[in-house]
Structure 1
Amino acid sequence: MPPTSAALLLHHGRGAAARVLIAHMGGPFWARKDERAWSIPKGLVEPGEDVATAARREFAEELGVPAPDLPAVDLGTFRYGSGKVVHVLAVEVPAALVGSPDDPASPDLTTRAGISTAQVEWPPRSGRRVDVPEVDRAAWFGVEQARPLLVAGQQPALDALVAATA
């Protein structure tokens, strides 16, 4: 069975007019990339853990702030070409969150305490391992702006969000 990740997609607004919070993947490989270099905050579901708990835990680990304590809507499970499975939950937040002191968006998450890191080999095939933040920034985008930025396996979650909130 392929590994399953849980993701939490924050949004404000509804249908095609919704704005979503996505995060840019960290590390030197992604540093100069934008298209297909963003992701819904996500991570692996631990054995015995439910999807909602995993999604909220991973959101906090990747963005360095707790997920808003608001109801979540299940958008479904999405499979990457690699076989990886991501279960996406959506949380509607008030538009007033954007730009407030509690906004999880940040142009530089690397300065936020508590964000998770991953060890990668850099430069490739060098044998040298470096710690990099899993994500380095997070921002709000309209659904159609977010689509080309997201990794391909997560793009269908935007369609599910639009349908669920229309």
Structure 2
Amino acid sequence: MPETSAGILLHRAAASGRELLLVHPGGPFWAGKDEAAWSIPKGLTGPGEDGDVAARREFAEELGVAPEGDLIPLGEFRLSSSKRLLAFALEGDFDPERLVSNSFEMEWPPRSGRRQSFPEVDRAAWFGLEAARTKLHLGQRPLIDALVAAVGG
């Protein structure tokens, strides 16, 4: 059975239209990547854990603030990694300058024997719908249409 992730697509109304908060993964692999590299805050669900509970936990771990408010289910999406993504929408605001992400350790440089710590998320930013379509990973782009269907543009 494929792994399941859960995440929250934070959105807000702006003068130019709906904006989405996306996060950029940290670590050396993603350092120079921008287009199709961004994501919603998300992570793996634990055994028997409800998707909405996991989505709230992962949002807090990746951004450093607990999400408040009612989550709107956007559905289940299949990612290119064969993982399933349970996505939820939440209307709200977040100042990307206040980002405080958890971190992970990995051997870097490869085969060096040295371990380094990297933030799970190295930055967050607000994007309009069209910009988000190019920034998001390909498998997460259908989230935009699901959000527009659920709450409007």
Amino acid at match of 2:59: F
On the 8 A contact 1:37/1:149 being kept in 2, the answer is: yes
Which residue matches 1:119? 105
Deviations 1:104-141 (A, max 9, x none): 423x84xx3xx321223322344433221110111111
Structure 1 runs of 4+ aligned residues shifted over 6 Å read: none
- Rounded to whole Å, the distance in 2 between the matches of 1:34 and 1:27 is 13
Q: How does 1:120-139 map to 2 (within 5 A)?
A: 120-139=106-125
Count the aligned residue pairs: 151
Once the 2 structures are TM-superposed, how far is the Cα of residue 75 of structure 1 from its aligned partner? 0.5
Tell me, what secondary structure is at the counterpart of 1:82?
coil
1:75 aligns with 2:74: yes
User: TM-score normalised to the size of structure 1?
Assistant: 0.83
Structure 1 residue ranges without an equivalent (≥5)? 98-102
- Rounded to whole Å, the distance in 1 between the matches of 2:87 and 2:95 is 18
Identical-residue share of aligned pairs (%): 56
Which residue matches 1:156? 142
On the 8 A contact 1:65/1:104 being kept in 2, the answer is: no
Once the 2 structures are TM-superposed, how far is the Cα of residue 30 of structure 1 from its aligned partner? 1.2
Q: How does 1:11-160 map to 2 (within 5 A)?
A: 11-13=11-13, 17-67=17-67, 69-93=68-92, 97=93, 103-106=94-97, 109=99, 112=100, 115-160=101-146
- Rounded to whole Å, the distance in 2 between the matches of 1:158 and 1:125 is 39
User: TM-score normalised to the size of structure 2?
Assistant: 0.90
Once the 2 structures are TM-superposed, how far is the Cα of residue 65 of structure 1 from its aligned partner? 1.1
Amino acid at match of 2:74: L
Once the 2 structures are TM-superposed, how far is the Cα of residue 152 of structure 1 from its aligned partner? 1.1
- Rounded to whole Å, the distance in 1 between the matches of 2:81 and 2:48 is 24
Structure 2 residue ranges without an equivalent (≥5)? none
- Rounded to whole Å, the distance in 2 between the matches of 1:88 and 1:10 is 11
